[in-house]
Amino acid sequence: MKYLLIGSLGQLGTEFKNYFQKNNIDFIETDLPTLDVGNFDDVDTMIGTFKPDVVINCSAYNYVDQAENDRWTPIRVNTIGVRNIAYLCRKYNSFLVHFSTDYVFDGEKPSLYFEEDKPNPINFYGLSKFLGELSILEELEEYLILRVSWLYGFGTQNFIVKFLNWSEETDTVRVSIDEISVPTSTRTVVAVTMKSINEGLVGLFHLTNSGYASRFEWALELKKQLGLRVNVIPAKVDEFQLPAKRPKFSAMSNQKISDLLGISIPPWREELENFLNIFASKN
């Protein structure tokens, strides 16, 4: 089976690339500037030439605050780009795996979100991702859409790296206590995604580690596991006056995909410890 990995330079794409190389899987990788998903002809040439069995789309514009002002870029990447990929997967008979986000929800539900819950994004990034989901549903009958949350891995665009940078710059860090979701590792996402593909799973699913936490709880766990001396102070997310609104509670249940695959996805604290041990060995 041949795979086309789009968005290979990001932290999720990097994890897939490492998995493919380790397991001697036939794949080709691409990212900017070689492939601009917003350019239909670029995508047509790439998929049409390689003719992959599976296209894994890790490309995304995920600068949540910047998306409130630069609205064209998230639409170009997260919506138009996704439609281009979906259309061409149908044209060339490739199976599409695409990643979405918990930010498609408004955060008003007082309990875990399930796949059947109605999306209602409250920032433009979330809207662009939801429109991307709809594009796939309009173009394809069979697909795999996986919503992830608070993703971290070997990259720079995640909370762990930001927290470490803050810890080096100051002795006190304020972190939101009323933003709640699920810290999820790229290791978990890649492992479950590949099992889903191998077992022929089709549809839309939530893919996160198990449990949930506030940003504050996540920061405290990082402080504990890394042995940092920084003071972590709870704050309300509104105090930061960020350009984009955040859902207050966007934790998603992974029960559906777990049951279908017959697996138990590790709790977020356990997986975080595993990741940090690997992270420490490489630094």
Alpha helices in 157-245 (DSSP H): 159-169, 186-198, 215-226
- Any domain includes 278: no
- Any domain includes 49: yes
Q: Is the pLDDT of residue 251 over 90?
A: yes
- Any domain includes 244: no
Tens of pLDDT, residue by residue over 98-143, are 999 999 999 999 999 999 999 999 999 999 999 999 999 999 999 9
- Number of folded domains in the chain? 1
CA dist 178 and 238 (Å) reads 9
Question: Can you give the pLDDT at residue 278?
Answer: 87
> What's the CATH number where 8 sits?
3.40.50.720
Tell me which of 35-39, 52-56, 239-243, 276-280 is least confident.
Answer: 276-280
CA dist 135 and 129 (Å) reads 10
- Any domain includes 225: no
- Any domain includes 97: yes
- Any domain includes 133: yes
- Any domain includes 136: yes
Q: Which domain holds residue 129?
A: 3-156+184-210+250-266
pLDDT tier, 262 (very low <50, low <70, confident <90, very high otherwise): very high
pLDDT tier, 157 (very low <50, low <70, confident <90, very high otherwise): confident
Question: Can you give the pLDDT at residue 9?
Answer: 95
- Any domain includes 275: no
Question: Can you give the pLDDT at residue 184?
Answer: 98
pLDDT tier, 281 (very low <50, low <70, confident <90, very high otherwise): confident
Q: Give me the long-range contacts of 86-89 (CB less than 8 A, separation at least 24).
A: 86/135, 86/136, 86/138, 86/139, 86/140, 86/143, 87/139, 88/40, 88/43, 88/44, 88/47, 88/48, 89/47, 89/55, 89/139, 89/140, 89/143
| Mean model confidence pLDDT for the chain | 96
pTM: 0.96
Stretch 150-167: mean pLDDT, rounded?
92
Question: Can you give the pLDDT at residue 283?
Answer: 64
